[in-house]
Amino acid sequence: MDYSDHPDEVAEGVFAGLSFMEKYDIPTNPNNIAVWYAYASGKYPDVRRAIDGVIAQKAPFTEEVCAEIYENYFSVERETQMVESASGRIVGELDRARDYVGQASENTQKIGDRLKECSAQLADNELTKGVKGVLDNIISETEAIGAETNALTASLDDVAQGVRSVIDTVAQEGESLTNETMRLSSQLEETVYEIREIERDFREQREEVLTDALTGTRNRKHFDIVLHAEIDAAEREGTPLSLIVIDLDHFATFNDSYGKAVGDQVLRLVARTMMECVKGQDTVGRIGGEEFAALLPQTDVGGAEVVANNIRAAFGRKTLTNRRTGEKYGTITLSAGITQFRPGELPTQFVRRGDEAMIDAKEAGRDQIYKAP
């Protein structure tokens, strides 16, 4: 990882890397975070090719696979071991060469001594004086070779010592770099933890902003966001999208009779009943004082009518009672309008048609469900 990156870039890369890790079910640890940060940032082509290769093969990212990728591209210890191994082989060859040269020097010395003995034996013989001169020349050359061999041995000793010094330096630097990497990994782990805390706080705050505090359903702002997204999906995929708009009958009168606190309990009951009657992909929102809506993707108007009737029946069967005093408030009915999205219409037109159908249900006597024309 390039620790000189700007903190914002690092945070963005870590977030993206964590998303990939979650997608492929990869454990969160410093080594894996470093690998997937490198992948997500796009700054490390070799790492990206290696990971894309695993993805293309549809192979799982096992602990062994993740460790291998880290070792191949991020492990300082591995590189240090390679340098030490190569340097060790160099020193070994130098030592062997020095032994060869030393042996040659020793043999040269023996030959020189033997020649000197022969020269002494020939010194007093007139017939062998010429041979003695040749031997003396050979002795001089042998001594020169011996001197050069000794110098070469000393030179090899110096080179071997130099290589050993380099190895020691590399080992020390490698250990220092490994310690620094561990320190940075620890810092990264702390940073990831802080980022996750920030992300969690952000999601909680976002949830609070987009949730109706009284009923726990989506508020109007969030409902409108989901509405636009579901309309885009319905038009893109050619699937049905339906809407149910619900309003409590005579709720203002009920509030005046029993008070706002009791009225709030009724609104919570409506919200809970609606959420119990819809599917996981559906969205329930409070879009007005006592007005609620349910957005039903991949559901036509016939299916929406079934859901609306289930909500009306479930709510109508509930008798409102003061749990503390036992006082009975009776029942409250609701009116609903249902409609199916028409390709090309605006979100406001879609909601308006559902709202108008709900008003038609009220004008027809309340406690009913009307379809938009």
**What's the pLDDT score for residue 150?**
65
Q: Strand pairing of 291-297 and 283-286? A: antiparallel
Query: What is the pTM assigned to this prediction?
Result: 0.50
> What stretch of H or E contains 370?
strand 369-371
Grouping H, G, I as helix, E, B as strand and the rest as coil, residue 343 is: coil
Q: Cα separation of 164 and 146, whole Å?
A: 27
7 pLDDT above the threshold of 90: no
Q: What share of the chain is helix, strand, coil (3-state, %, to 5)?
A: 70, 10, 20
Grouping H, G, I as helix, E, B as strand and the rest as coil, residue 284 is: strand
Query: Angle 253-256-257 (CA atoms, 0-180°, nearest 5)?
Result: 85
Angle between helices 63-74 and 76-122 (to 10 degrees): 50
Question: Count of CB atoms within 10 A of residue 244's CB?
Answer: 29
Q: Cα separation of 69 and 54, whole Å?
A: 10
Query: Quick one: which of 241, 265, 238, 242 has its CA closest to 320?
Result: 265
**What's the pLDDT score for residue 227?**
95
CB 100 within 8 A of CB 93: no
Measured CA to CA in angstroms, residue 208 lies from 33, 65, 178, 211, 344 at distances of: 30, 41, 45, 5, 33
Q: What is the CATH number of domain 220-371?
A: 3.30.70.270
Q: Cα separation of 337 and 352, whole Å?
A: 10
Q: Cα separation of 260 and 84, whole Å?
A: 80
112-161 pLDDT, tens digit each: 565 566 556 555 555 455 555 655 666 566 666 666 666 656 665 665 56
9-49 pLDDT, tens digit each: 666 667 777 778 888 888 877 778 878 888 888 878 888 88
CA 168 to chain centre: 38
207-253 pLDDT, tens digit each: 666 888 899 999 998 999 999 999 999 999 999 999 999 999 989 88
Q: Where are the domains of the chain?
A: 7-74, 77-189, 220-371
39-82 pLDDT, tens digit each: 888 878 888 889 999 999 888 988 888 888 888 877 654 455 54
Encode burial over 327-344: b for 16+ CB neighbours within 10 A, e otherwise.
Answer: eeeeebebbbbbbbbeee
